[in-house]
């Protein structure tokens, strides 16, 4: 892999300002999901090294929180600048370890950097309140303070953005962080740490624990009382485990979990716009995003036209090595992922779904799946309930607004939903009726650092990005200041 800055390819953990090997000397392989080749090996850190990272973050918190928001902002801004200067190298590292097309990797570097830029400024606005006092002899205030040491556990599908979306607000308000990236994609996380060191973050403020032993490290994160906040992005199943494990030390939690996004097309929708939105919300990162459409609901009156138009766009998608400039669909992350997609498609076909495009593995690579479109699907099929996390578009029919709202909400998940239509009154009704944390209206792309990202129900809680994203790393302290009356004056 030819990097302009070879130092960005890191093989060690980053603890207390040092690049360290595992105490045991153990390493684990990082594999290119397209070629199945080992890219490199990385230090396999475990509990002892993690304990040292927590100790370092705890010590560093005492001084980092004393810096002014302006001083912290300047270091975050420098980090943002470095991320953009090294965009090409970071994108190549990401494509090689995660598989996404290089154009999407470049986009993610910019998207991830935008959280650093946004919170470099937002950290200066952790405003409190002066409260009108009910007593003449006292003054009341509410101030905001950093919660403390933050543990961040992040997924493989956005190996930069899911980290910066957490650590940028945490660092901006004065918290320190210990990050456990996904075992599939540690290289992006370690490159982030390298550039953070270059930007001037003091030792112990940022720590990265590469490991293929997530449960062991996670157990320490959830049980150590010095960790005051756990921010997790990943599957709902893992989120539930971590929440239960955190109960003993009552940690503040942010959980960004699984999704099952509906995409509704009403009979008055602009079909061209709806097709464009469908392609974006379904096939980005090969369908491996938490906000990807999982179920399409198309009004009966336009069903055939929609299927025909979407099929044409899906057939044109180029599958292959993410390093090739015009690749649009890369490999799935691992064998378990492609086996799951295979299982869900086979189940749907067995239960009567009609394959319009694709329907099986692609010859482009061992973990490549052909972009697939299934028609005449119904709720007996597993893919109507399970998150496919692959390039598969199942298209359901509906006839009334009430029917489709019921279908769309019939899931334990509540992350993102999308719908296309022109009737203004219906837009309000549907936007308010959908039980999701985020709703795209006549658009298939909603994610930005300036808006609150997050779900409800079993998609988790907490918000990332926007002014709301700052609150997840703050605590409110109430000050009641008595003795205000002038005691030299006799009443």
Ligand X SMILES: O=C[C@H](O)CS(=O)(=O)O
188 binds ligand X (CB under 6 A): no
Q: Name which of ligand NAD, ligand X, none residue 447 binds, using a CB cut-off of 5 to 8 Å depending on partner kind.
A: ligand X
130 conformational bin, left if phi > 0, alpha if psi -120 to 50, beta if neither: beta
Please check whether residue 83 is in contact with residue 90, taking contact to mean a CB–CB distance below 8 angstroms: yes
What's the chain's Rg over C-alpha atoms? 24
Sign of the torsion formed by the C-alpha atoms of 269, 272, 275 and 281 = negative
Q: Which residue has 């716009």 as its token pair?
A: 273
Judged by beta carbon, residue 164 or residue 327, the one nearer ligand X is 164
State the residues that interact with ligand NAD by CB under 6 A. Answer: 153-157, 162, 180, 182-183, 214-215, 218, 233-235, 238, 241, 256-259, 290, 387, 389, 415
> Minimum Å distance from CB 233 to ligand X?
7
Q: Name which of ligand NAD, ligand X, none residue 203 binds, using a CB cut-off of 5 to 8 Å depending on partner kind.
A: none
466 binds ligand X (CB under 6 A): no
Alpha helices, H only, 123-181: 161-173
Sign of the torsion formed by the C-alpha atoms of 375, 266, 284 and 409 = negative
> Minimum Å distance from CB 210 to ligand NAD?
10
> Minimum Å distance from CB 113 to ligand NAD?
18
Closest CA to 463 of 261, 157, 293, 255: 255
Single out the residue of 14, 115, 119, 158 in contact with ligand X (rule: CB under 6 A): 158
> Minimum Å distance from CB 459 to ligand X?
11
Q: Name which of ligand NAD, ligand X, none residue 259 binds, using a CB cut-off of 5 to 8 Å depending on partner kind.
A: ligand NAD
Question: Which candidate in 122, 256, 328, 387 is catalytic?
Answer: 256
Q: Which of residues 246-275 bind ligand X (CB under 6 A)?
A: none
291 binds ligand X (CB under 6 A): yes
> Minimum Å distance from CB 344 to ligand X?
18
The token pair at 103 is: 């154009």
Distances in Å between the Cα of 278 and the Cα atoms of 13, 304, 376, 418 are 40, 15, 17, 9
447 binds ligand X (CB under 6 A): yes
The token pair at 305 is: 């036209």
Judged by beta carbon, residue 207 or residue 466, the one nearer ligand X is 466
Strands 139-146 and 129-131: antiparallel
Catalytic status, residue 5 = no
Q: What are phi and psi of 131, to 5 degrees?
A: -105, 130
Q: Name which of ligand X, ligand NAD, none residue 99 binds, using a CB cut-off of 5 to 8 Å depending on partner kind.
A: none
Which residues participate in catalysis according to the annotation? Answer: 256
Interface residue list for ligand X (CB under 6 A): 157-158, 161, 289-291, 447
């Amino acid at each position: 892999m030819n990097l302009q800055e070879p130092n960005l390819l890191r093989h060690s953990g980053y603890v207390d300002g040092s690049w360290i090997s595992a105490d045991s000397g153990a390493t684990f392989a990082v594999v290119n999901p397209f070629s199945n080749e080992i890219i490199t090996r990385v230090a396999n850190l475990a509990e002892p090294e993690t304990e040292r990272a927590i100790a370092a973050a705890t010590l560093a918190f005492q001084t980092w929180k004393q810096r002014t928001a302006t001083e912290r902002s300047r270091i975050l801004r420098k980090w943002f600048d470095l991320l953009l200067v090294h965009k090409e190298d970071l994108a190549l590292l990401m494509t090689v370890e995660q598989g996404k097309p290089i154009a999407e990797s470049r986009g993610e570097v910019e998207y991830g950097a935008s959280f650093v830029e946004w919170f470099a400024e937002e950290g200066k606005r952790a405003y409190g309140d002066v409260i009108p006092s009910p007593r003449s002899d006292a003054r009341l205030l509410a101030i905001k303070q950093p919660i403390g040491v933050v543990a961040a556990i992040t997924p493989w599908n956005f190996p930069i953005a899911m980290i910066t979306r957490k650590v940028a607000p945490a660092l901006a308000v004065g918290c320190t962080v210990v990050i456990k990236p996904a075992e599939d994609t540690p290289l992006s996380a370690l490159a982030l740490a390298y550039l953070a060191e270059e930007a001037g973050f003091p030792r112990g403020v940022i720590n990265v624990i590469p490991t293929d032993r997530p449960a062991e490290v996670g157990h320490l994160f959830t049980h150590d009382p010095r960790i005051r906040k756990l921010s997790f992005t990943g599957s709902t199943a893992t989120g539930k485990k971590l929440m239960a494990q955190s109960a003993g030390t009552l940690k503040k939690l942010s959980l960004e979990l699984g999704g099952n996004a509906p995409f509704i097309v009403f009979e008055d929708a602009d079909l061209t716009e709806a097709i464009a939105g469908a392609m974006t919300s379904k096939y980005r990162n090969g369908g491996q995003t938490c906000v990807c459409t999982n179920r399409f609901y198309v009004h009966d009156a336009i069903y055939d036209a929609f299927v025909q138009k979407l099929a044409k766009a899906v057939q044109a998608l180029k599958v292959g090595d993410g390093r090739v400039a015009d690749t649009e669909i890369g490999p799935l992350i691992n064998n378990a992922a492609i086996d799951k997609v295979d299982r869900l498609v086979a189940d749907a076909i067995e239960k009567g779904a009609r394959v319009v495009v694709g329907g099986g593995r692609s010859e482009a690579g061992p973990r490549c799946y052909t972009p697939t479109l299934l028609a005449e699907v119904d709720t007996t099929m597993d893919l109507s309930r399970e998150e496919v996390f692959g390039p598969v578009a199942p298209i359901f029919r509906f006839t009334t607004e009430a029917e489709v709202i019921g279908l769309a909400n019939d899931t334990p998940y509540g992350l993102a939903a999308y719908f296309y239509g022109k009737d203004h009154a219906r837009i309000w009704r549907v936007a308010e009726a959908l039980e999701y944390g985020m709703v795209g209206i006549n658009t298939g792309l909603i994610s930005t650092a300036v808006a609150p990202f997050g779900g409800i129900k079993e998609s988790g809680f907490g918000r990332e990005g926007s002014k709301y994203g700052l609150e997840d790393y703050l605590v409110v302290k109430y000050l009641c200041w008595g003795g205000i009356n002038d005691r030299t004056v006799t009443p």
